Amino acid sequence: MSTVGNSTNIFWHECPVGKSERQKLLNQKGCVVWITGLSGSGKSTLACSLNRELYSKGKLSYVLDGDNLRHGLNKDLGFKVEDRTENIRRVGEVAKLFADSGLICIASLISPYRKDRDACRALLPESFIEVFMNMPLEVCEARDAKGLYKLARAGKITGFTGIDDPYEPPLKCEIELSYKDGVCPTPVAMAGKVVSYLEEKGFLEEDKERN
């Protein structure tokens, strides 16, 4: 019996099929690929490209996209500091469950605050892969796929990340995808870099040590 947060008298119930069995079934290791960056930096594009690339290799992944989750699970949250923190906390917990299910969970959220991303990493220290979309603000703003930068510059949206709300880049991350010499890598090239990392670290094969 234990107490967690505001819940008292609660019990952990163990299920008969464990993570290693699920991973064996899927021939992969559950993990979280956490994509962070400014609005318009290409997070969703990379998430979709990676999802497709993994599928073509017979690997099961699932995308948790910030914008999409705000249509349901997180529709009660806005963009104040504490709302963004709660948004990231919830997605971190959901991502942990997906990883436990054996899936490669791809989370794509601005996740602007370092401490919130670090809290998600702490949930899964061995299988958290942070991918930083290091694209200049000018490039993201020029893309302005949703017209939000224009609204933010006109003062019609306040607290917009990169304009009048901060983005804290990672100090250390597993993968950094950068805009160099006026060129942004293609979505396929970026997905390829993440897939190579996952292959190199053994996430795309079953856990032999546990058999």
Ligand X SMILES: Nc1ncnc2c1ncn2[C@@H]1O[C@H](COP(=O)(O)OP(=O)(O)O)[C@@H](O)[C@H]1O
Ligand Y SMILES: Nc1ncnc2c1ncn2[C@@H]1O[C@H](COP(=O)(O)OS(=O)(=O)O)[C@@H](OP(=O)(O)O)[C@H]1O
Of 18-26, 36-44, 123-131, 179-187, which part binds ligand Y (CB under 6 A)? 36-44
According to the binding rule CB under 6 A, does residue 40 interact with ligand Y?
Answer: yes
Tokens of 124: 């899964």
According to the binding rule CB under 6 A, does residue 112 interact with ligand X?
Answer: no
3-state secondary structure of 203: coil
Residues 81-140 that bind ligand Y (CB under 6 A): 84, 87-88, 109-112
Residues 9, 100: Cα–Cα separation, whole Å: 24
3-state secondary structure of 132: strand
Tokens of 39: 């609005």
Q: Which does 33 bind (CB under 5 to 8 A by kind): ligand X, ligand Y, none?
A: none
Contact criterion met (CB below 8 Å) for 78 and 106:
no
According to the binding rule CB under 6 A, does residue 40 interact with ligand X?
Answer: yes
Residues 129-168 that bind ligand X (CB under 6 A): 143, 145
The answer to whether the Cα torsion of 203, 208, 210, 211 is positive or negative is: positive
Contact criterion met (CB below 8 Å) for 108 and 68:
no
- Location of structure tokens 């390829």: 192
Based on CB atoms, which residue is closest to ligand Y, 28 or 39?
39
Residues 30, 100: Cα–Cα separation, whole Å: 6
According to the binding rule CB under 6 A, does residue 37 interact with ligand X?
Answer: yes
Among 23, 28, 44, 51, interactor with ligand Y by CB under 6 A: 44
Active-site residue, from 41, 61, 111, 127: 111
Catalytic residues: 111
Q: Which positions lie near ligand Y, rule CB under 6 A?
A: 39-40, 43-44, 66-67, 70, 79, 84, 87-88, 109-112, 146, 148, 157, 159-161, 165
